Amino acid sequence: MASEVRRIDLLGIRVSALTLRSTAQEMARVIASGERGYVATCPVYTLMQGYYCPEVKAALNGAWLVTPDGMPVVWALRLFGANEAGRVYGPDLLLAFSELSARKGYRQFYLGGAEGVAEALGQAMSDRFPGLQVAGICCPPFWEMSRDEESKMLAAANAAGADVIWIGLGSPKQDLWMARYRDRLNAPLLVGVGAAFDFLTGRVPHAPRWMQNSGLEWVFRLGAEPRRMWRRYLIYNPLFVWHLGKQWLLYRRARGARRI
């Protein structure tokens, strides 16, 4: 990619120091230039998946942008000097770029979610942003697809002529998916947005904005879905703090040595 976006190494993942606005601007630039890439929105859980799994790490580091999806990731970026970083939350990015797309004529494709969710999302976005062009939808099966099913899915996505394909498969599945299929898809942009499909269609409730901004969204989601979310937050959040703390101590030690 021609644009130089600052990246900060967090636990071996090169996270882009961006804001919601600058991310949308970069996405528009890629479409205009004819380049191709994929965007991974990255909360703590995704970072930790990359830290422990080499395949996920490779998928994230192969992304054109890895955006800070949660406030703890934003704070970590700022801790290492990227004071310009802001939260690039998947649902907010989808809304912001849909508004931009309605004005510029970019075509959207929605891939993911349970049966009927991608279709509901397309309708919701069309209603919210008059003039938004929805090129197509796809709800891939939860099981491993056969080669024939895989080929049909990719052919349908390519035939739609979309400018951006929004991927709502959850992390790290969507990150591995984008890394696997990027070269076989014609759309300039693939963007993984996690649970945005469910949030924006009302299937899953949003945390209040004050909880999102204060880094407490995990408390809301844990309370709403304790059986599904307990491991993500009660195990991986403390591990993130522990490993990031070790990285910070090494960083400070290295900075101190350079001053000598």
Report the pLDDT value the prediction gives residue 114, as an integer from 0 to 100.
82
Q: Is residue 34 part of a domain?
A: yes
- Edge-to-edge strand ranges of the sheet holding 37-42: 65-68, 37-42, 189-192, 164-168, 107-112, 133-138
Which residues are CB-neighbours of 98 under 8 A, at least 6 positions away? Answer: 108, 125, 128, 129, 132
Q: Is residue 15 part of a domain?
A: yes
Whether the model pTM is above 0.75: yes
Taking the C-alpha atoms of residue 4 and residue 226, their distance in angstroms, rounded to an integer, is 40
Q: Write b or e for each residue in 56-92: b if 16 or more Cβ atoms lie within 10 A of its Cβ, otherwise e.
A: bbebbbebbbbbbbbbbbbebbbebebeebbbbbbbb
129-134 — which CB contacts under 8 Å span 24+ positions? 129/98, 129/99, 129/101, 129/102, 130/102, 131/102, 131/103, 132/98, 132/101, 132/102, 132/108, 133/101, 133/105, 133/106, 133/107, 133/108, 134/107, 134/108, 134/109, 134/110
Total domains in the chain come to: 1
Biggest alpha carbon–alpha carbon distance for the chain: 62
Taking the C-alpha atoms of residue 120 and residue 96, their distance in angstroms, rounded to an integer, is 18
Q: Is residue 173 part of a domain?
A: yes
Taking the C-alpha atoms of residue 159 and residue 85, their distance in angstroms, rounded to an integer, is 36
Task: Please answer whether residues 149 and 141 qualify as being in contact, where contact means their C-beta atoms are separated by less than 8 angstroms.
Answer: yes
Q: How do strand 164-168 and strand 13-16 relate by DSSP bridges?
A: unpaired
Taking the C-alpha atoms of residue 144 and residue 155, their distance in angstroms, rounded to an integer, is 18
Structural domain harbouring 72: 7-196
Report the pLDDT value the prediction gives residue 16, as an integer from 0 to 100.
97
What DSSP letter does each residue of 72-136 carry, written as one string?
HHHHHHHHTT-TT-----HHHHHHHHHHHHHHHT-EEEEEESSTTHHHHHHHHHHHHSTT-EEEE
Give the pLDDT mean for 134-156. Answer: 82
Q: Is residue 241 part of a domain?
A: no
Verify cis geometry, omega within 30 degrees of 0, for the bond prior to 172: yes
Q: Is residue 257 part of a domain?
A: no
The pLDDT tens digits for 233-252 are 999 999 999 999 999 999 88
| Residue 32 confidence class, pLDDT cut points 50, 70, 90 | very high
Report the pLDDT value the prediction gives residue 142, as an integer from 0 to 100.
66
Task: Please answer whether residues 75 and 215 qualify as being in contact, where contact means their C-beta atoms are separated by less than 8 angstroms.
Answer: yes
Q: Is residue 216 part of a domain?
A: no
Q: Is residue 225 part of a domain?
A: no
Percent of residues, the chain, with pLDDT higher than 90: 71
Report the pLDDT value the prediction gives residue 253, as an integer from 0 to 100.
84
Q: Is residue 221 part of a domain?
A: no
CATH number of the domain encompassing residue 129: 3.40.50
Report the pLDDT value the prediction gives residue 10, as an integer from 0 to 100.
97
Percent of residues, the chain, with pLDDT higher than 70: 96
Q: Find where tokens 């945005």 sit.
A: 196
